[in-house]
Amino acid sequence: MMTNSVLQQFPISEKWSWRLFILVVLIIAGLAWPGSFYFLNDDHIHIPKAYDGTIGHHNGLRHISDLSLFLDSLLWKENAFGYHLTNLLLYIANMIMAVPVFQKLVAGLKVRIPKQVFIIGSALFGLYAFHSEALFWILCRTASLSMFFNLLSFLCVLKQTQNRLLQSGAILFFLLGLFTYETLWLYPVWLVLWWWLLPDKKDLQPLQRQTIIGIWALFIIYFPFRLWSTGEALGSYEAAHVQAFHWGVLIENSYKLFFRSFLPPTSSDFIFKLASVGMLAILCLVVLMLIKRKVLNRFYLFIVSAWLSSYVLFISLGVSVKGFESERYLYYPSLWLCLFIVLALFHLVKSRALFVVLFAVVSLYHLFFMYKASAGFKKVSSYSKAGMSTFQKVPLSKKIVIENLPVYSHGLPLYNYGFKNGIQWLCYGRDSNSVEVLSTHHFAKEQIVSSVKEGALADTVIFSGK
């Protein structure tokens, strides 16, 4: 039964909530400080293309994402620091903007929830460990950049005023996000859900109604344009299993996406499945307690619907359960999940001490795994940078022959895609045809070292673990 919850006192004051928020921002800045990160995997493809002025993703309409890389390249050239600084600033900006978006969503639904819920929920979103790619990998800023535009559009729509400038902003930011990453495909659906949940439809002002209809009109037009531009309405990369109706794969991917939202990567499938069962039991218990307390309301329905629907766009792709790769697909779901966790704690825990303890446990859990993700990306970045340094030392007059090229390490792709593009970009314009890869290797957690065997016409670079 849905009911409007009675406003109760939040265990932490608003002042201390903001202090906690600032502390989280400082922690994130420390873990993601750009000085320790480098270019990885297909960064080597898209950044040089953007640097040369090629704007437009090869398998989708991601022009704004490429434009962000182009703007970074104008300032930072081959210095990875600046690209990662942009990622960090986007990440923090989304944390900040999420607070007023949550406030305006709940205000329209006329549900009484303290502001501290939104502040703490956004702080937890910052600490959340399992969307690490959006923070630590340059190219995966598509997730955070699209959310940046999504939140801006939300703010323009939700502001209760008849303002043509806000209407234009809502539509403009939607278009920018739509041409950044496909995650904004869900945004028009969320707007209609929010509209449907309004207790009094008269509360929706005429200009807001026009804006939502306009966003939907542009969204519908987008697909014929996408088909005309790319030859695919959905995309063979993003939706191959959906288009082929591979139900077994889709169900398995849905399972992985959902439970990886709560669980870290593990090398053991059995441990992951066992942990999934335990997590499902906890979730069922939480839902039953929320029902028993009769605190469920329109806002719960909205955030749970937004959370679960966020997986839909990625069920054809799935997420790795053994490494950090593809964690960017959990960036959008985690926004709503973190808010749900804090809101559930607020409604279920009456004791201030118990609330603080439980929130501290959840926060430390994510902080621990966020630290591990940060350490993994830093280590792989050091291997990538050291490898490029080795290649740069080979005279351009000689060919480069490579043995055991590290394609994966610490659960992350290193030189898997775009390696030769990176060579051409970062090694003083070396011709990629002068590079020959004899063999590749997936390194586990051993340290990767490289050695050079000089020859008359070619130098052989040999990678090994120790």
User: For 2-12, how does the pLDDT look when each residue is reduced to its tens digit (9 = 90+)?
Assistant: 444 445 688 88
Q: 83 and 97 share a domain?
A: yes
Pair 412, 380: CB distance under 8 Å:
yes
Residue 260 shares a structural domain with residue 386: no
Nearest to 183 by CA among 61, 304, 99, 89: 61
Residue 39 is classified by DSSP as -
pLDDT of residue 57: 62
Question: Do 363 and 407 share a structural domain?
Answer: no
Q: Are residues 195 and 257 in the same domain?
A: yes
Does residue 7 form part of some domain? no
Expressed as residue numbers, the domain containing 407 is 381-465
Beta bridge pairs of residue 436: 401
Q: 364 and 326 in one domain?
A: yes
Q: Would you say 290 and 347 are in contact if contact means Cβ atoms under 8 Å apart?
A: yes
| Residue 2 forms part of a structural domain | no
77-90 CB burial, b ≥16 within 10 A, e <16: eeebebbbbbbbeb
pLDDT for res 218:
96
Q: What pLDDT is recorded for position 140?
A: 94
| 81 and 171 fall within a common domain | yes
Q: Is 369 left (phi over 0), alpha (psi -120 to 50) or beta?
A: alpha
Does some domain include residue 3?
no
Domain boundary among 325, 356, 376: 376
- Continuous H helices in 109-235: 115-127, 133-136, 141-158, 164-178, 187-197, 206-230
Tell me: do 344 and 390 sit in the same domain. Answer: no
Count CB neighbours of 14 within 10 A.
12
Clarify whether residues 312 and 408 are in a common domain.
no
Asked whether residue 56 is assigned to any structural domain, the reply reads: yes
Residue 88 within a domain: yes
Alpha helices of 244-351 — where are they, by DSSP H?
A: 247-260, 269-293, 298-309, 331-348
User: What pLDDT sits at residue 185?
Assistant: 95
The pLDDT tens digits along the chain (466 residues) read 344 444 568 888 999 999 999 999 999 999 999 999 999 998 998 999 888 888 876 567 899 999 999 999 999 999 999 999 999 999 999 999 999 999 999 988 989 999 999 999 999 999 999 999 999 999 999 999 999 999 999 999 998 677 888 999 999 999 999 999 999 999 999 999 999 999 887 778 888 999 999 999 999 999 999 888 888 888 777 777 888 788 999 999 999 999 999 999 998 899 999 999 999 999 999 999 999 999 999 999 999 999 999 999 999 998 999 889 899 999 999 999 999 999 999 999 988 999 999 999 999 999 999 999 999 999 999 999 999 999 999 999 899 999 999 999 988 999 988 888 889 999 888 888 899 999 999 988 789 998 899 998 999 999 998 8
Q: Give the integer Cα–Cα distance in Å for 246 and 242.
A: 6
Total domains present in the chain? 2
Chain segment 128-171, per-residue pLDDT in tens: 999 999 999 999 999 999 999 999 999 999 986 778 889 999 99
Tell me how far apart the alpha carbons of residues 254 and 258 are, in angstroms, rounded to a whole number. 6
Is residue 6 a part of any domain in this protein? Answer: no
pLDDT at 4: 44
Residue spans of alpha helices (H) in 32-79: 43-51, 63-76
Last residue of a domain, one of 336, 351, 376: 376
Give CA–CA dist 241/248, Å, rounded.
Answer: 9
Q: Is residue 226 part of a domain?
A: yes
Give the dihedral of Cα atoms 300, 301, 307, 313; nearest 10 deg.
Answer: -170
Show which of 376, 392, 409 is a domain's final residue: 376
